[in-house]
Amino acid sequence: MRMDDQGESQNVEDVRGSSGGFRPVHGIGLGTIVVALIGGWIFGINPLQILGLLSGGNSSVQSPATDQPGQPPPAGDPDAKFVSQVLRSTEQVWTTVFQERGAVYEEPKLRLFRDAYPTACGLGEAAAGPFYCPKDRIVYLDLSFFDVMTQKLGAPGQFAHAYVVGHEVGHHVQNLLGIIDRVDSQRARGDEARSNALSVRLELQADCFAGVWATRSQREKGWRLEDGDIETALNAASQIGDDTLQRRSRGTVVPETFTHGTSAQRVSWFKRGVQSGQIDGCDTFAAASL
């Protein structure tokens, strides 16, 4: 993946070195299922404790999250620059997509943090991986997750990392379209199985939106996909499927507990986004089967 001459987003904030807060996090992201299923395996953290935090347990002291915008990333940080370039490309693509629909795209912020950071959705922790908080419209990312992808999940490569950013921005697109609010409303009226099924459709749609960004950005904005780039993103999607993660962590698969979709489903919906390049091609909620 070559983005050497691409511009950088002005919406990346560096809060590495800042921390605080004790609230459980309620964001939407790739990392949630990683923590819930293999947190102990990768990070040496008690999975039951993590599950309690992610489900909103009251094991921690409640404290208000504060908005603490950071500084721009340092000029000599290549990983931060890459993330900033990827975010800029998502801004350009989604601005155009929304204009085509007669709407205005509101750009999200992306905050680089380390270890833990208070958000409007609770305390964001590096162990949970990247996530999007609908309440403050910010994508949170600890760059060490890219090392986890490469070393632990078998998903190396710049485009695989870019896919993660594209997925989280996909959640922001869902937020702007009112999809997250509708799903939350339906979750409140359903049981756990129904809530999990809705989560799967939400996550697969974000995968599809990431595909929309990828195909339109490289076509319209001039950065270049190299041989194997799409394969690295598809591999990343497959490595973080519910079935693959469960099989790694426990040796068995329990479909009714899925919240992000199977590896095959994640690959399939990312491909649909790449092939269609359109939001309308990503309606996972209308699909009879996933």
pLDDT at 23 over 60: no
- The model's confidence at residue 131, banded by pLDDT at 50, 70 and 90, is confident
Most confident of 145-154, 184-193, 243-252: 184-193
In a domain, 288, yes or no: no
Question: What does pLDDT average to over the chain?
Answer: 74
In a domain, 212, yes or no: yes
- The model's confidence at residue 80, banded by pLDDT at 50, 70 and 90, is very high
How many independent structural domains does the chain possess? 1
In a domain, 170, yes or no: yes
- The model's confidence at residue 139, banded by pLDDT at 50, 70 and 90, is very high
In a domain, 289, yes or no: no
pLDDT tens per residue across span 33-58:
444 433 433 334 333 333 333 333 33
Percent of the chain with pLDDT over 90: 29
In a domain, 256, yes or no: yes
How many residues appear in the chain? 290
Residue 190, domain extent: 12-282
pLDDT at 119 over 70: yes
Rounded to whole angstroms, how far apart are CA atoms 170 and 259? 16
Percent of the chain with pLDDT over 70: 63
Rounded to whole angstroms, how far apart are CA atoms 34 and 130? 10
pLDDT tens per residue across span 95-113:
999 999 999 999 999 999 9
pLDDT of residue 232: 65
pLDDT of residue 55: 34
In a domain, 2, yes or no: no
Dump the DSSP string for 108-153: PEEEE-SSEEEETTEEEEGGG-SEEETTTTEEEE-THHHHHHHHTS
Question: What angle do the packed helices 179-188 and 192-220 form, to 10 degrees?
Answer: 170
pLDDT of residue 239: 57
Within 10 angstroms of residue 11's Cβ, the number of other Cβ atoms is 18
User: In the sheet that 131-133 helps form, which strands lie side by side, from edge to edge?
Assistant: 12-14, 109-112, 138-141, 131-133
In a domain, 189, yes or no: yes
Q: Which two tokens stand for residue 19?
A: 């921390």
pLDDT of residue 276: 93
In a domain, 157, yes or no: yes
More confident residue, 78 or 22: 78
pLDDT at 223 over 70: no
Least confident of 5-9, 31-35, 91-95: 31-35
